[in-house]
Structure formats: C-alpha cells, structure tokens
Amino acid sequence: MQRTKIVDVINSQPTNEAVTVMGWVKTFRSNRFIAINDGSCMDNLQAVVDFEKWDAVLLKKIAPGAAIAVTGSLAASQGQGQAVELIVDQLEIFGESDPSSYPLQPKKHSLEFLRQIAHLRFRTNTFSAVFRIRHYMAFAIHQFFHERGFYYIHTPVITASDAEGAGEMFQVTTLNLNSIPRTEEGNIDFKKDFFGRAANLTVSGQLEAELAAMAFSQVYTFGPTFRAENSNTPRHLAEFWMIEPEVAFADATDNMNLAESMLKYVIQYVMEHCKSELEFLNQREQDEDKQKPAQERNEMGLLDRLRFVLSNDFERLTYTEAIEILKQSNPNKKGKFQYPIEQWGADLQSEHERYLVEKHFKKPVILSNYPKEIKAFYMRQNDDGKTVAAMDILFPGIGEIVGGSQREERLERLQKRMEELHIPQEEMYWYLDTRRFGACPHAGFGLGFERLILFITGMTNIRDVIPFPRFPGNAEF
RNA sequence: GCCUCUUUAGCUCAGUUGGUUAGAGCGUCGGACUGUUAAUCCGCAGGUCCUUGGUUCGAGCCCAAGAAGGGGCGCCA
C-alpha cells in the first residue's frame, strides 16, 4: 500500500500535490477536522473534510480509534495549530471503532487505568512518546558500543547454572508437573527433564560475556533478564532488559569512565533525536507537578535535569567516604534515618543512597570499593583485604541504575572466595578456565535499561516504560 | 514478603454526625452550530457505592475477613 508517513508530511511545504496518509483517528472536531496519528511522530495530521459533500453515515464512522486512509492535497493551514493540513478528496475507513465501548476518550487518563489496557495504551500521546524514546535509546546503545569496537554477544536466555547469585530464578522444565519423575531417593529426577538437568531463565549474561571478552577484548550483551523475586516496587520487573558490557585489559576506573560516557551518550542521542517527545514529556510532568503539593514537585524540569547530567561529571567516591558523609549527615544525627549509620560495613539502604544523590551531591553518584561481604564472589579483591572493586551508579529518583565491578582474575583468590560462599566450583569449571588460560584484568557492569528510560522520560513507574510489564501476579497480554 | 493508603457512573472524583430519590466534570447517546485545536451550546441516559459477613430501626459512611490498585520498605538492575 502506498502511503506517506505523517512525520514526512507535517514538515513539508504545502505542495498542493496529492498524498495518501493512513493512521488512527485521535479526534474529529466540528464534523470537519480529523486529527490523525500514525505513530511516526508526536504530531497529528489535520485532515479537513467538507462535510456537506460527504455522506453523514460515513462521517459518523470517523470516531476516535478508527483506522482510516485519507487522500488529498497538502495545503497551508488556515488554523493556528499546524502549518499544513490535508484537504480530503478520498476517504476510506479500514476499521471502525465504536465510541461507546472504545476505552480511550479524548481526555486525560490516569497511568493506572492505561496500565490495565496496555494493549491500547500505545495510542496515547504519553506512551507513544515513551516507546519511541525507548527505541532510540536501544539504537543509541548499539551505536555507542559499535563505534567503540565492541561486539554484540547473544548470551543464553536459558541457563543450567544456578550459581550466578543474582537472585531467585524462574525454573524451565518440560516435565509433567502432575506426575514429576522421582529418583530412588525421592528427589526430582532432572535427568528426565529436557536438558537432562535443572534449568532456569537467566538472571544475568555477565559470566558468559566474560568468556567472550577473553577473546574479543570488548563485548556487550543486551537482552531480557528474569528475576523471580517477589518485588513490588515502581523500580522492579520480573522481566526486564539489561545491557552488560565486559572489557578485557580494563580496571575499575576504566569501568566507571565507560559507564559514565555511555549514559551521557544515550541521553545526548535522545535529546537530539526525540526533541518533540521530550518536550511533550517535559510539559506533561510540569502539568502533573502543578497538581502536587510544592514539596513533592521536581526541583528541575525534565529537560533541565537531562542537560544538567550531561554537563556535569558524576560524583565519584568510595563506600568508605560515603559512610563518613552519612555518619556526619543531619538526618543521621537527628535520628531521621530508619536505618541509622553506625559503623563501616553496613549495607546502604535506599534512604542513604537517596540522601547522597538527591540532597548531598544533587547529581549522579558513582560509589566504589564496597565491603566484600555485601558484594558478589566475582568482584576483584582490593589490597586492603576488606573491600572489592565494585561500583554502583546512583541516579536521582531512581536509585541504582548501574552495578558493576572489576572482576577477580586471580584464580586462587577467586576459588577461595567461592569456597567461602559455598559456590560449587565443579559446575563453574568453564568460568574458572578463563582464569587458568590467559587471565587478564577485566571489568564490566550491568545497566538496567528500563531504569535509564525512567530517568530519560521522567516517568516514575517502571511498568510504564516497558510495553507489557511482568511482575508478581501479572502476566497479562 | 512487610507497612500504609485507596476502591462510588465508561474515565477522574465529591458525598456532611449513620437517615427519604447517591452527585459533579469529562466521555457516550440525541439535537443545534460549523475553520476547529481535548471545539462549543442544549438535552437524555447511565450506579452490584469492590466482595462476603456483621453491628443497627436504618450502612456508600461503623466493624471483620478477602480481592484489586497506588505509595513506602526489603531483594536488585
């Protein structure tokens, strides 16, 4: 079918040549003006029908949500809201949309309501903007790595390794759950299962990415990740997308530099390519803020926040320095923290991270060199014997957006740590082999894609930045 | 998983100390108007007050249990 996309029509000069546009009706005003959107941009095309020349029964079918095609000449608009409009000569209704049962009315809807009709919410301005930005962000990430000579590695979605230690896993099985085969001891007989052993959905592609990095030097993964945690927050999903670069011949500082430049690259890219989407979301947030008490409003608007992050270095400090700041902080002294900071070694709670990012530094913060007790087995042990070369990047309003580390490349140290944490080494022989054959300093991190979308779009619930969110008790659509 | 708030028309919400027939805006439907910008104006319709049980002469309102949704916390990206 031959059609011109609205994004191409809306910015062209009035040619008075015939064009055909296909899309979905947003509104039909005054029985004359059809606002049509085809998802190619924020803007609607205004199509003008002379209602006296058209059958009233046909015009009645131009209702919000209907799919239509209009053909006509492109003219300079007489109205104020748009430069050009299409004067309709031909009109075709592909699919009607009954106004009394179509849930999207030309009015403001709550995000909670739209979440329940996620199959239709793509058609709203807000979600149209969010998911177009999501696309550009994914594209920007690939471009960032490609430009720097990274290779995109597809790590497995199904894994038999349960030693990754990143959280509860979803089991993958073809066994008949109504009659599970048992061993003589009465345990489940996974030998009869599809893979001949217990299998799960991946919680991270990192370990496999490390294997690839030991050949290609620089690799990254970008794929779905699954966590069976019973997490009920606006920042967690059971199925989310994660970007995990892994770099050979790199240390903790290289790791931070890579993460910071990548985040800035993506923000910069979206600001360049999604101007109207960001302007819309910026305005939307401003309107929302007007309804809120002054205390809950954003100190800076969305666009200002993005510009601010681009033009400032992330604050880098060690865990130990952070503990000192928190110890001396007013909320700690006045007992305002639910979990008071008393001594070195405590895990930071989100109230502490929020204080550092939102109150103390007021910008993204990179925390490094955490106590080894609160971090994963594969992180490189520092010379002090107490800390590991971990780093977390914390963003205002969202918290942890990146978690990474320089990896422990020294075989003996790694094995000792695995022993201490009761991680089965036989199963992980392939991971340990990289430390046996040509081990080198290397580092990497995991970036939560949806959390970055939250920051860039100003949305506040992670369920609104993935098309079909998966979370405890919900796998609808 | 823990804490907390919410649930009233299609949507967003109001509903007084427990008292007759539960309201508004927007939307739908009908009509008017016709260069509008979530068009405007007039009118009609639309309710399992989340569910179940209880207290009471009487419950949208009080009590208990449950369900769904939001927010906070934990786990983390």
Q: The domain spanning residue A409 has which CATH number?
A: 3.30.930.10
* Cα separation, A114 vs A134, whole angstroms: 18
Q: At what angle do helices A275-291 and A302-311 cross, to 10 degrees?
A: 120
Separation CA A19–CA A12 (nearest Å): 12
Token digits for A178?
Answer: 């109504």
**pLDDT class of A16 with cuts at 50, 70, 90:** confident
A246 and A390 housed in the same domain: yes
Question: What is the rounded distance in angstroms from the CA atom of residue A69 to the CA atom of residue A36?
Answer: 9
| pLDDT over 70 (residue A166) | no
* A142 and A61 together in one domain: no
Question: Residue A30 class from Cβ within 10 Å (0-12 exposed, 13-18 middle, 19+ buried)?
Answer: exposed
**d(CA A115, C1' B27) / Å:** 19
Residue A189, in any domain of the structure: no
CA A179 to chain centre: 39
Q: Indicate the residue among A70, A105, A140 that finishes a domain.
A: A105
Same domain, A403 and A440: yes
Same domain, A132 and A273: yes
- Interatomic separation, CA of residue A231 and C1' of nucleotide B55, rounded (Å): 39
Among residues A216, A240, A247, A197, which one has the least CA distance to residue A427?
A197
Token code pair at residue A81: 């809201």
Domain containing A459 equals 125-156+206-225+239-314+363-464
Which positions of chain B lie under 7 Å from any protein Cβ? 1-2, 10-13, 26-29, 33-39, 68-77
Looking across all nucleic acid strands, the nucleotide with the smallest C1' to CA distance from residue A448 is B77
Judged against a pLDDT cut of 80, whether residue A293 lies above it is answered with no
Whether residue A446 has pLDDT greater than 80 = yes
On whether the CB atoms of residues A216 and A223 are closer than 8 A, the answer is no
Which residue, of A105, A135, A165, is where some domain finishes?
A105
Q: Which nucleotide is nearest to A237 (CA to C1')?
A: B77
- CA A101 to C1' B11, whole Å: 12
Q: DSSP string covering A134-183, please?
A: HHHHHHHHHHHHHHTT-EE----SEE------SS---EE--S-TTS--B-
**For residue A472, is it within any domain?**
no
- Report how far apart the first and last C-alpha atoms of chain A are (Å, whole number): 29
Find which nucleotide's C1' atom is closest to A110's CA. B12
Whether residue A108 is predicted with pLDDT greater than 90 in this model: the reply is no
Question: Å from A91 (CA) to B33 (C1')?
Answer: 24
Q: Comparing C-alpha atoms, which of A67, A69, A70 is closest to residue A48? A: A70
Same domain, A308 and A246: yes
pLDDT band at A15 (very low <50, low <70, confident <90, very high): confident
Q: Which nt sits closest to A472, CA to C1'?
A: B1
Residue A443 lies in a domain: yes
Confidence category of residue A251, pLDDT binned at 50, 70, 90 = very high
Helices A449-457 & A252-273 angle (0-180, nearest 10) = 50
Domain co-membership, A26 together with A100: yes
Give me the sheet containing A399-406, strands edge to edge. Answer: A151-152, A218-226, A239-248, A442-448, A399-406, A387-395, A365-371, A315-318
- A111/B50 CA-to-C1' distance in Å: 20
Of the pLDDT bands very low, low, confident and very high (cuts 50, 70, 90), residue A291 is confident
Angle, helices A449-457 vs A302-311, to 10°: value is 120
Q: Where is pLDDT greater, at A291 or A240?
A: A240
In this structure, the answer to whether residues A70 and A149 fall within a common structural domain is no
pLDDT higher than threshold 80 for residue A154: yes
- Residue whose CA lies closest to nucleotide B74 C1': A231
User: Tell me, in Å, how far CA of A110 is from C1' of B15?
Assistant: 22
pLDDT at A256: 98
Which one of A71, A105, A139 terminates a domain? A105
Structural domain includes residue A470: no
Distance A124 CA to B29 C1' (A): 24
DSSP sequence for A187-238? SB-GGGSTTSS-EEE-S-SHHHHHHHHHHHSEEEEEEEEE------STT--S
Contact A222, A266 (CB under 8 A): no
Nucleotide with minimal C1' distance from the CA of A242 is B77
A151 with A59, same domain? no
A56: nearest nucleotide, CA–C1' criterion:
B34
HSE of A279, CA atoms in CB hemisphere, 13 A: 8
Average pLDDT along chain A: 94
Which nucleotide's C1' is closest to A106 (Cα)? B38
pLDDT, tens digit, 9 for 90 and up, residues A54-79? 988 899 999 999 999 999 999 999 99
Task: Kindly report, residue by residue over A366-418, the tens digit of the pLDDT.
Answer: 999 999 999 999 999 999 999 999 999 999 989 999 999 999 999 999 999 99
Q: Which residue is nearest to nucleotide B25 (CA to C1')?
A: A107
**For residue A87, what pLDDT band results from cuts at 50, 70 and 90?**
very high
The integer distance in angstroms from the CA atom of A55 to the C1' atom of B43 is 25
Measure, in angstroms, how far nucleotide B55 C1' is from residue A110 CA. Answer: 37
CA of A113 to C1' of B59 (A): 29
Write down the pLDDT at residue A164: 61
Query: What would the two tokens of residue A51 be?
Result: 């209602």
A418 and A272 part of one domain: yes
User: Nearest nt to A85, CA vs C1'?
Assistant: B35
* Rounded distance in angstroms from the CA atom of residue A477 to the C1' atom of nucleotide B48: 28
> Does residue A33 belong to any structural domain of this protein?
yes
Check whether residue A14 and residue A71 sit in a common domain. Answer: yes
Same domain, A44 and A130: no
CA A391 to chain centre: 20
Kindly state whether residues A38 and A84 are assigned to the same domain: yes
Tally of domains within chain A: 2
